[in-house]
Structures are given as structure tokens and as C-alpha cells.
Amino acid sequence: MNPERLSEDDIQAAVALLRAGETVAFPTETVYGLGADAGNPLALQKIFWIKGRPADHPLIVHIADVSHLDLWAESIPGAVWRLAERFWPGPLTLILPRRSDVPKEVSGGQDTIGLRIPDHPVALSLLRAFGRGIAGPSANRFGRVSPTTAQHVRDGLGSKVGMVLEGGTCRVGVESTIVSLVNGNAVLLRPGGIDREEIEETLGQKVCSGISGSCNARVPGMLASHYAPETPLEIYPGGFLGHRALQLVWQGCKVAVLKLGEDGERFESRRIITVCMPRSAAEYGRVLYSTLHRLDRAGFDRLLMEAPPVTPEWVAVNDRIQRAAHDTVKEKKSG
Ligand code: TXA
Ligand code: MG
């Protein structure tokens, strides 16, 4: 559905549910979020229950405007204004010191809080009409692939969600970049829709990477195994894909091969199909999760993925596919 056609009635119905402590899934430019009133501990508990997510994994609070920052953050370093001016609304989450009156459920017991203004007309209409912060993790079961369409949310969470707002296909397709500004310096906690280089350029300083556990950064909820399809996924350099595919077919598997290329999808045999993935990192990010959702429902035994380039613009995609493949790697190692 065209987001522009979303009716005011839908937004009002969603606001009524949020005020009543229910959940509403909503589109953002990155992925769909599972929203609840960030100031209502009981509503927040529903998010954790619906997702099957551990209670100590903090949630991002979505806000409509920078003027709402000080309702959630204890202090706002100068860097926030520079980043907000350039990137908000947009796919950037900032971690700041939490105000003590913010429910601890929202931050998983941390003394920090994640905040962002999403860049999607439906999300912004909802936030403005609700007038308060909406806590919103990705609207998928814990550990699974994030949803980039309303249908993905319905497929994954079904009737547990109070309402799913339609907003078309997410433009960015991978989750927001997360930057912590808690200890005086900027630390990248999750690569995402905005590249680290753009953040460094805006701040005029190097951004330390906390992704691999360096910089003493705490990233609760960033697990090695995450964003995973049900179907085991393996990643290989392009030259190895064909050999591995044939090996699996000989073992009786049905295999989907995700190759970098320009063509559309083509069937090669009854047991192998090739799916061409975009050569541009932004375009690849946009279709990654929808491709995984689709292939996951198509009855394959294994997904084989061509390793994308290891250049800065591919960092977010490489991060997500490594996590998606993690369990398969573990399985193979343990026999
Ligand atoms: O693009 C996005 O960020 C999407 C859309 C819906 O906004 N949301 C999203 O939320 O990806 P979620 O919960 O699936 O992932 C948020 C991650 C958590 O896993 C956690 O690592 C980090 O954000 N996070 C949130 N608050 C934090 C905090 N106070 N300190 C450290 N990490 C935090
Ligand atoms: Mg998530």
C-alpha cells in the first residue's frame, strides 16, 4: 500500500491502542518496528513477550522531534546537535545517558537510552499524533530476520500485535547505525544505514568501533547469531559457490545460491536456483531481508551466499550476513 494513502483513521486507531498500553507495528525507513508507549512499563513488557526477547536487551525510543530529547536523556552532548542536524530524521540511533525517571524496562536496566527520529511519513505521523516516545525494536521474533514489509510482520508475529500499520517496503532495509555518545567520545555500536565515515566527517573526529567488543563498549543484545533465516545460510567467495552447491545437491539438498549480479532470478535445475543480488551495497541492503524472508518460505535446505566486497559501504550488509550465517558455521564446526 502507498504510505501516502494511509488514513488519519488508521493513525488515530494506532494512537488509541498505544494509549491503552497495546502494541502497534509501524514502518520506518530501516525496518518495521514493534511499537509501544515507551513510558508504560506494562506495554514495554508486551514487546519483550511478543518478540521472545530477553528483558535485559535495551529498546530504542523513537521520537518526533529533537525537542523531545531531554524527556529521555539526562544530558545532551554538543555532538548530538551536529549529528541530529545532518542525519535526523534518518537511520541513526544515538545512545545517551538516561534520565532516572525513564522506565528501566526500556533500557534493559542500563543507565543509557537509545533515541532516534525515523524518516518515514507513517512513523512520523504516528509519533506526532501520539506525542510521546514510542519504544520500537524490529518487529520480528528474537534472533530472526527483521521485517521490511507489513506482510513480514504479520507472517512473523501474527495476531499477537495490536495493529500493523502499512507503509510499503522499507527504503533502507537494514537497521539504523547506532552511535554511543555516553563517555565523551563517539563509539560505533552497530553499523547500519549511515556509514561511519559520514559520522566522522560530521563530527570532525574518528569514531571508535565498539562492534567487536573494543572501546569498552557495552552492546547488550548484539549477538553473534542474529538476523537469521530458519534455513541454514553459508557464505563463500564467488569461485567456491558452484562447487559447494553441487556438493550439497549430491547430499540430496535443495539449494538457493545468492550471487552478486545484474540478472533476474533463474532456475538452473530442480535442486539449485540462482538469485542475483545487487552489486550496489545500498541496493543490496534494501533487498537483503526481503530475499531471506522469501527464500525461507520456499522450502530450500540451504542458502549459499556470495561474499560481498569488504569495503566501507558494505560494512552493514557484511555485519548482518555474518550474524545470519553464524549458527550454520557453528553447526558445521561441531559436525
Ligand atoms: O533501525 C532500527 O534501529 C530499528 C527500527 C525499528 O528503528 N530498530 C531496531 O531495534 O533495530 P532492535 O531492538 O531490534 O535493535 C536495537 C539494538 C539493541 O539490540 C541494542 O543492541 C541497541 O540497539 N541498544 C538500544 N539501546 C541501547 C543502549 N541503551 N545501550 C546500548 N545499546 C542499545
Ligand atoms: Mg532487532
What is the domain range of residue 110? 3-209
pLDDT at 209: 86
H or E element in which residue 114 lies: strand 112-116
pLDDT digits (tens, 9 = 90+) for 262-295: 766 666 778 999 999 999 999 999 999 999 999 9
So what's the pLDDT on residue 297?
Answer: 94
Residues 140, 275: one domain? no
- Asked if residue 76 has its Cβ within 6 Å of ligand 1, the reply is no
- Give the number of whichever ligand sits closest to the CA of residue 90: 1
H-helix or E-strand containing 112? strand 112-116
Which residue stretches of the chain have pLDDT < 70?
1-5, 211-223, 263-267, 328-335
- Is residue 163 domain-shared with residue 238, that is, in the same domain? no
Instruction: Please check whether residues 255 and 158 belong to one and the same domain.
Output: no
Question: How far apart are the C-alpha atoms of 66 and 129, rounded to whole Å?
Answer: 16
Classify residue 317: in a domain, yes or no.
yes
- In sequence order, the 6+-apart residues with CB closer than 8 A to the CB of 257 are 241, 242, 245, 272, 273, 274, 275, 304, 305, 306
Using the 3D structure, point to which of 194, 209, 224 is the last residue of a domain: 209
Task: State the pLDDT at residue 335.
Answer: 47
Cell 563517539 locates to 186
Whether 217 is in a domain gets the answer no
In this structure, are 244 and 200 located in the same domain? no
Ligand 1 and 136: CB distance under 6 A: yes
Q: Model confidence over 303-322: pLDDT tens digits? A: 999 999 999 999 999 999 99
Taking the CA of residue 112 as reference, the ligand 1 atom at the shortest distance is: 29
- The structure's pTM equals 0.94
CB 28, CB 138: distance < 8 Å: no
Looking at the fold, whether 179 and 267 belong to one and the same domain comes out as: no
- Total domain count, the chain: 2
Note whether 261 and 188 are same-domain residues. no
Domain membership flag for residue 243 = yes
Judge if 150 and 290 occupy the same domain. Answer: no
**Is residue 156 located within the same domain as residue 262?**
no
Residue 223 near ligand 1, beta carbon < 6 Å: no
Rounded distance between C-alpha atoms, residue 315 and residue 305, angstroms: 16
Q: 137: CA distance to ligand 2 center in Å? A: 6
Give the CA distances from residue 324 to residues 15, 67, 135, 168, 261, in Å, rounded to whole numbers and listed in that order.
Answer: 34, 37, 24, 24, 21
**203 and 282 assigned to the same domain:** no
Quick one: 65 and 113 in the same domain?
Answer: yes
Asked if residue 216 belongs to a domain, the reply is no
User: How far is it, in rounded angstroms, from Cα 257 to Cα 234?
Assistant: 10
Instruction: Assess if residue 182 is contained within a domain.
Output: yes
Pocket of ligand 1 contains residue 27 by CB under 6 Å: no
Q: What is the pLDDT of residues 112-155, one digit of tens each?
A: 999 999 999 999 999 999 999 999 999 999 999 999 999 999 99
* CATH classification at residue 183: 3.90.870.10
**127 in contact with ligand 1, CB cutoff 6 A:** no
What residue type is assigned to position 169 of the chain?
T
CATH for 263: 3.40.50.11030
